[in-house]
Amino acid sequence: MSGVVFLILLLLGLPLAFTLIASGMVYFAQNPELPTAVAVQRMVAASQSFPLLAVPFFILAGHVMNCSGITKRLIHVSNLLVAWISGGLAHVTIVLSALMGGVSGSAIADAAMQARILGEPMQASGLSKGFSAATITVSALITACIPPSIGLILYGYMGNVSIGKLFLAGLIPGLLLTLVLMLVVYLQARKKGFAPTQANPPSFKQILEAINQSKWALLFPVLLIVTIRFGIFTPSEAGAFAVLYACVVGRFAYRELTLSDITTSLSESVSDIGMIMLIILASGVVGYAIAYEQLPVSLTLAVTQVTEQPQLILLMALAILLVVGVVMEGTITVLLLTPILVPLMQSVGVDPVHFGILMLIMVTLGGTTPPVGIAMYAVCNILRCSTTDYVKAAVPLFIAVLALVVVLALYPPLVLFIPELLF
C-alpha cells in the first residue's frame, strides 16, 4: 500500500521529500506493532552523521565558486583548450563538466547552469538547438563521478563505503566519459558540418598563460583529493576547506567576491541544502521500512535464483537503475536504492566502490533520457528546444555512454586501479 501511495503522490507532482514521508507514515500505519515514534526517531537519526556535513559545505562551495570568478576561469581554460576542435563550444561544456565536478549536488543543477551560461553562445556559433541541448545535458554525467560529487558522498554514507576511495575511483571513469563524449561530439560535428569556433589550436605559450591565470581554480580538485587521501581532512572537513578556499581565492586572488556575493551564495545554498537534507531525513523512514521488511535479503535470494554470475547480476542492477533514473532524480534514487543494492552486490562479490561509480552514472543517465528525464526537460526548457530535436542529437551520446558503462562493468580494474594503488 505504501508503495502505491508513493507512486501516486510522485505522479501527482508532490515534492519528493513529502512523498517519502507520506508513504513512510502509511507503512507505519499499516503495521500497528511499529510505534509512530520510531518514524520520527529514524528521521532524526538520519541527520546524525558526520560525513553528511560534507553535503552543505560542498553545495555552498559550488555557489561561491560561481560568484568568485573560479567558474569563469574554468570556462576560459576549457574554451582555449578545445574550441578549435570541430564542435567548438560543445567540447567546452564537456571539459567544463570534468573540471567542475558535482559541487552543486545535482547533475540537473550543473546542466541547467551550463545551459544558461553556454546555451546561447553555442547556438550563436552555429550549433543546432538539439545538438547544444544534448551535449550540455549528457555531459552532466561526468559530474556524477568526478570529485567532489555529492552523489558519491551520499552513496558512501548510505552504503557505508569509503568516500575517499569513491573519489579516487571516479577519476578514470570521469576521464573516459570526457574522452568518449568528446569523440562522439567531434564525429557528429564533422558529419553535420559544424565548424570550430577558433581556427587554430592554441600555442603552448597561450596554454601556459591561461593555466597561470586559472591556477587557483585548477588547484582546487587537486588539493581536495590529496588532503583526503593523506588523511589531512575528512570529506566533511574538506567541504569546509572548499568553502574557505573559494572565499579566499575569490576575494584576494581574483578580487571579484564581494560581501553581497557571499550573502547571495548563502541564500541560494540554504534553499538547495534544505531540499536535499529534507529528502535525506525522509529517506530515513523509508530506509527503516526497507530494513524491517528485509528487502535486501529477499532481492538477493530472488536474483541469485535467476543467475549467480556476478557480472550478469551487476548488469541487471544497472538496467534497473537506468529505468528508475528516468522517473526519479539521482539524489533520491541513491538514497532509496543504495541500502537495497549494496548488500546484494557484496553478496555476489562485486566491490561496492566499483558498483557505486557505475550506479551514479546510470541514475544520472536516466535523468537525461525520455520519457520523464528531469535534466532533459530542464535544459530543453532553458534553450527552448523540442524534445524531438534533443533525442535525435542525443542518441549517439546515449549509445556511447552505455557502451562505456558495459566496459567499466566487465573490467573492474578501470574503476578500482587508483583506489587500490593508493589505499
Per-residue pLDDT tens for 196-210? 767 678 888 888 888
Task: Identify the residue whose cell numbers are 549536488.
Answer: 105
Evaluate the omega torsion of the peptide bond into residue 371 and state whether it is cis, within 30 degrees of 0.
Answer: yes
Cα dihedral sign for 387, 390, 394, 395? positive
pLDDT for res 324? 79
User: Are 152 and 170 within 8 A, CB to CB?
Assistant: yes
pLDDT for res 152? 87
pLDDT for res 319? 86
Rounded to 10°, the helix 259-292/36-47 angle is 140
The per-residue pLDDT string of the chain (423 residues; one tens digit each, 9 = 90 and over) reads: 777 877 787 777 777 678 878 888 888 888 877 787 888 787 777 777 666 777 788 778 878 887 888 877 877 787 787 777 777 778 888 888 887 765 555 667 777 777 877 787 888 777 888 888 999 999 988 888 888 777 888 898 888 898 889 988 998 999 999 999 999 998 888 888 776 767 678 888 888 888 888 888 778 777 877 887 777 887 778 888 888 988 998 888 888 888 888 888 888 888 777 777 787 787 777 777 777 777 666 766 677 777 778 888 898 889 888 877 776 767 777 877 888 888 888 888 899 999 999 999 998 888 888 766 777 877 888 888 888 889 899 999 999 999 999 999 999 999 999 888 887
Task: Identify the residue whose cell numbers are 564525429.
Answer: 187
User: Are 194 and 127 within 8 A, CB to CB?
Assistant: yes
pLDDT for res 400? 95
What are the residues whose beta carbons fall under 8 Å from the beta carbon of 19, sequence distance 6 or more?
6, 9, 10
pLDDT for res 409? 94
- Which CA distances in Å does 258 have to 216, 254, 263, 414? 18, 11, 9, 43
User: Are 12 and 258 within 8 A, CB to CB?
Assistant: no
3-state secondary structure of 247: helix
Phi-psi group of 126: left, alpha or beta (phi > 0 → left; psi -120 to 50 → alpha; rest → beta): left
3-state secondary structure of 367: coil
Per-residue pLDDT tens for 65-106? 878 888 778 777 877 877 777 777 788 888 888 877 655 556
Q: Which amino acid is at 241?
A: F
pLDDT for res 405? 95
pLDDT for res 297? 64
Q: Which grid cell sits at 87?
A: 564542435
Instruction: Please tell me the number of Cα atoms within 13 Å of 169 on its side-chain side.
Output: 29
Q: Which grid cell sits at 199?
A: 581556427
User: Are 131 and 194 within 8 A, CB to CB?
Assistant: yes
pLDDT for res 337? 83
Please classify residue 30 by burial: count the beta carbons closer than 10 Å to its beta carbon, then call 0-12 exposed, 13-18 middle and 19+ buried. Answer: exposed
pLDDT for res 104? 55
pLDDT for res 128? 86
Evaluate the omega torsion of the peptide bond into residue 148 and state whether it is cis, within 30 degrees of 0.
Answer: yes
